[in-house]
Structure 1
């Protein structure tokens, strides 16, 4: 009599970057994030109602997400709702239609606006944030200082996140020596970023945090905190095989932050479980789990916004949902913010979802980075060049030219 074999357990899926499908999903989500960011940026004109811009951004995210991985048993959706933060806002801002006063908030010419949004495919989220000055093709004065400082500080931080020795050339001995070097401490990273900020007369926004991303998790164990407050510290060093959301926030004020007297509209489900007592709370949580998993969402995205405002109260109080408190610059000064989703591979850093490179011919400042250590770091590549020799030479020339043109 033939023996019957026990049923085989399904093979465990590798969700790390070692699986090419993982990177493909990240890149697909990033393409959507970029496309919608461009569309939303075009809507951010003087007089535009912030709530309407956010609604349109979320519609576009849903439309674009629906076009990919059709018919596949893959969970996909919004990785971060569309948020449009006015000049002095530090945190992502997404007002509600039912809060009549806030729903009337419009964008003003000359203010520094921050747009943040993202898509996720199979739990792999790519969130991006970019900033620009509303209604100005050419930026001068203090706003120009702020945008340039943020761009260079962000590029510096990215280069400091490349694992030690990863891009080293030369002999095996030289590569080994480079790999044995210690990664910069978070205190040293903060110090260098602050140097750039000071060059342009800005300050780093306190507790600016970059997080390691994992599947279904945008705040994993490792984090880098710039300008940390008392008793706050980052943990861990970036490594090959990781995905990070890298944040840079600067201010024309002190960099200190205050809580704004506004409703918390941005939330995220936690891993806490609790038996909710109210039917409205259970209904709200059920919709959140189904639509957003553990990714951030706006109450505006729920079926019944007014019911959600009631239902979310117990969810927050019991810890099953976390609310993000709206915060702004303590001095009401303009604040900038960038967020880049990166993958760290054996070839270096790949920008998955990233703010657009600023047009340096349209941002005019009389300030300039002259610190040798910082200039050297900014000249480092983010990844190994995989192009032809001709391309490498062209890149080298371009880098030299850019280094000489730093304003």
Structure 2
């Protein structure tokens, strides 16, 4: 009997990047995240209400997610609700309709607004964050231009420091072995390099800016990289082939120090802690969270009854069943930037799954530039090896066939 039981057991599914289906699901989720991000960025105009932008973003996420993997028995949904953070806000911001004062908050001209959101397919989440300057003209000058340049280069530098040593090395076998034997940069070294970039543009890295390894149904895995750590926190782990990461960069025109904001925490996430909740409202809220969001972040405004949810989460948070993300901002109320890229590390290097758009730096005029030789050398490194696009090969084949057909017709 025991043998028959073993024979009928379903084979264990490989959820790593070794399984092509995993990368396909990540890429499908990423395409949705990217599409919605661009739509929300286009809606960020002066006078627009932040809560309405968040609602419209989530609605579009749900519409796009509903179009993929139809009829398949796999979970899919919002992997991170739409958040629109004003200039000095460090954390993702998603106000509630029921908080009258916050529901009226609108975008102001000249603000650097950070948009963060994400989709998930079968537990594979892709989160992306980009920023826009509200009402910016054709050319941006001054401190905002400095911040855009600094953030772009800090991000490009960090992505290159995520590539495992020797992975993209060229030359003789001996040179490749030597490159592979090099140690990956420590988190202290990474922080130092990024702080040099920030200082070039008179900016500072936002303290405790954290990049996480992503696992299935988990956007805060065991490995993490913390830039400019404060209060004794430290990151742990080195990026490796076969991993997916959410890589974040945040810079400030102020000190980079962070303070709590006097706002309600509206962004939450389920933890792995179990606890027998006493209040029926708490149990009902948790049940809805589990069903709709699993362990992905959600906003209280996404629950059926926002007012009931505000009550229902209290016991859940107090007993560690839900984690709440405390709203935080720059301690000097200075403008801050944030970019977040979901990337996959494969044997060919880094694939940007969901990523902010590269800015046209010619539109952001600054008199500052990077002159540090070490940083310039790292920025010159490729992120991935060129594998020769199959699409291009196919196009060439089709073009040749078409040409041949044309010749025959003549």
What range describes the TM-score normalised by the shorter chain of this pair?
over 0.9
2:4 and 2:310 map into 1 onto residues whose CA distance is: 54
| Aligned twin of 2:295 | 294
| Aligned twin of 1:343 | 344
Cα shift at 1:8: 2.3
Cα shift at 1:4: 8.6
1:178 and 1:245 map into 2 onto residues whose CA distance is: 26
| Aligned twin of 1:50 | 50
| Aligned twin of 2:121 | 121
| Aligned twin of 2:79 | 79
Contact 1:212 1:220 in 2 (8 A): yes
Cα shift at 1:337: 0.2
Q: Please give the residue correspondences for 1:138-149 in structure 2 after superposition, counting only pairs within 5 Å.
A: 138-149=139-150
Q: Please give the residue correspondences for 1:133-172 in structure 2 after superposition, counting only pairs within 5 Å.
A: 133-137=133-137, 138-172=139-173
Deviations 1:116-173 (A, max 9, x none): 0000000000000001211003211000000110010000000001000000011111
State the TM-score, normalized to the length of structure 2.
0.93
2:361 and 2:145 map into 1 onto residues whose CA distance is: 10
2:154 and 2:132 map into 1 onto residues whose CA distance is: 16
SS in 1 for 2:80: strand
Q: Which runs of 5+ in 2 are unaligned?
A: 393-410
Deviations 1:291-347 (A, max 9, x none): 000000000000000000000111100100000000000000000000000000000
| Aligned twin of 1:317 | 318
Q: Say yes or no: does 1:65 pair with 2:40.
A: no
SS in 2 for 1:126: strand
1:155 and 1:208 map into 2 onto residues whose CA distance is: 15
CA RMSD of aligned residues (A): 1.3
1:109 and 1:365 map into 2 onto residues whose CA distance is: 20
Cα distance change on mapping 1:4 and 1:357 into 2, 3 Å? closer
Deviations 1:86-133 (A, max 9, x none): 000000000000000000000000010000000000000000000121
Runs of 4+ in structure 1 displaced over 2 angstroms?
3-8
State the TM-score, normalized to the length of structure 1.
0.94
Cα shift at 1:5: 3.7
1:364 and 1:12 map into 2 onto residues whose CA distance is: 54
2:3 and 2:226 map into 1 onto residues whose CA distance is: 57
| Aligned twin of 1:41 | 41
2:162 and 2:189 map into 1 onto residues whose CA distance is: 12
SS in 2 for 1:120: strand
SS in 2 for 1:224: strand
2:221 and 2:254 map into 1 onto residues whose CA distance is: 30
2:129 and 2:115 map into 1 onto residues whose CA distance is: 5
| Aligned twin of 2:110 | 110
Cα shift at 1:231: 1.2
Number of matched pairs: 388
2:321 and 2:3 map into 1 onto residues whose CA distance is: 45
SS in 2 for 1:56: helix
Contact 1:132 1:147 in 2 (8 A): no
